[in-house]
Amino acid sequence: MSLKPIFQLSIVSQNDPGCPVGSEITASVIYHRGGTIYLKGTQPTPPPHYPVTDFPLDKPVLLPIPQNPGSATPTWFMEISNDYLEEAVFIVEVRTPGQKTTTIILNAAEVGFWAEYNEKTKTNQIYKEGDCGIFGFAQLNKPADQPAYFIYTITAGVDNPKIHPPK
């Protein structure tokens, strides 16, 4: 039996001093397709060794600040149902008080491409510029005897995020 890959999405707030509402930013996973998300306490039951998501779908989640110990990072895990990574999609809305909602569409194929690029040169994607900006970063983890993880982390509440390395 081969293990199906996992598309992992995490979202935090950096709460930079230049973003006065960084501790009030929320995010919602408003749509997903191309796989199964196993929510804690619901059906279906995940296969052995597959992660369970503790955070709701379609409801705003207050983003934690990584420097605050004890705050869990909102993370969603999708078991990708087929070999077409383009079909494994998350759509996220990030709401920063006083600003327009930012919608981010991610698919596992793009995350895999960005993660592969990051193995050579670390880079990120900018979704919103300014004093309460948003960026994302991709990674790929292929642990032995476990499914591959396409990992994407969105960071909001960033004071003027930049592309790294600068172009």
pLDDT digits (tens, 9 = 90+) for 110-163: 999 999 888 888 889 999 999 999 999 999 998 777 788 899 999 999 999 988
Confidence (pLDDT) at 1: 46
Report how far residue 13's alpha carbon sits from residue 137's, in angstroms, rounded to the nearest whole number. 14
Give the pLDDT band of residue 82 (cuts 50, 70, 90): confident
Q: Is residue 97 part of a domain?
A: yes
Report how far residue 83's alpha carbon sits from residue 80's, in angstroms, rounded to the nearest whole number. 8
Give the pLDDT band of residue 46 (cuts 50, 70, 90): confident
Of the spans 21-35, 44-58, 62-76, 83-97, which averages the highest pLDDT? 21-35
Confidence (pLDDT) at 111: 94
For residue 97, is pLDDT > 70? yes
Q: Determine which helix (DSSP H) or strand (DSSP E) holds 72, and give its type and residue range.
A: none
Give the pLDDT band of residue 166 (cuts 50, 70, 90): low
CB half-sphere exposure, 20, CA atoms < 13 A: 2
Report how far residue 163's alpha carbon sits from residue 71's, in angstroms, rounded to the nearest whole number. 27
Q: Is residue 166 part of a domain?
A: no
For residue 167, is pLDDT > 50? yes
Q: Is residue 111 part of a domain?
A: yes
Q: Is residue 163 part of a domain?
A: no
- Look up the domain containing 13 and give its range: 6-158
Which residues are bridge partners to 103 per DSSP? Answer: 93
Length of the chain: 167
Please write the tens of the pLDDT for every residue from 55-80: 989 999 999 987 777 788 999 999 99
Question: Between the CA of residue 69 and those of 26, 58, 141, what are the distances in Å?
Answer: 19, 26, 25
Q: Is residue 146 part of a domain?
A: yes
Average pLDDT, the chain: 89
Give the residue, 9 or 121, on which the prediction is more confident: 9
Query: How many folded domains does the chain comprise?
Result: 1
118 close to 138: Cβ distance less than 8 angstroms: yes
CATH number of the domain where residue 147 is located: 2.60.270
Compute the average pLDDT of residues 39-55.
80
Q: Is residue 107 part of a domain?
A: yes
Max distance between CA atoms of the chain, in angstroms, equals 50
Percent of residues, the chain, with pLDDT higher than 90: 63
Report how far residue 103's alpha carbon sits from residue 69's, in angstroms, rounded to the nearest whole number. 28
Report how far residue 161's alpha carbon sits from residue 153's, in angstroms, rounded to the nearest whole number. 14
Q: Is residue 117 part of a domain?
A: yes
Q: Is residue 165 part of a domain?
A: no
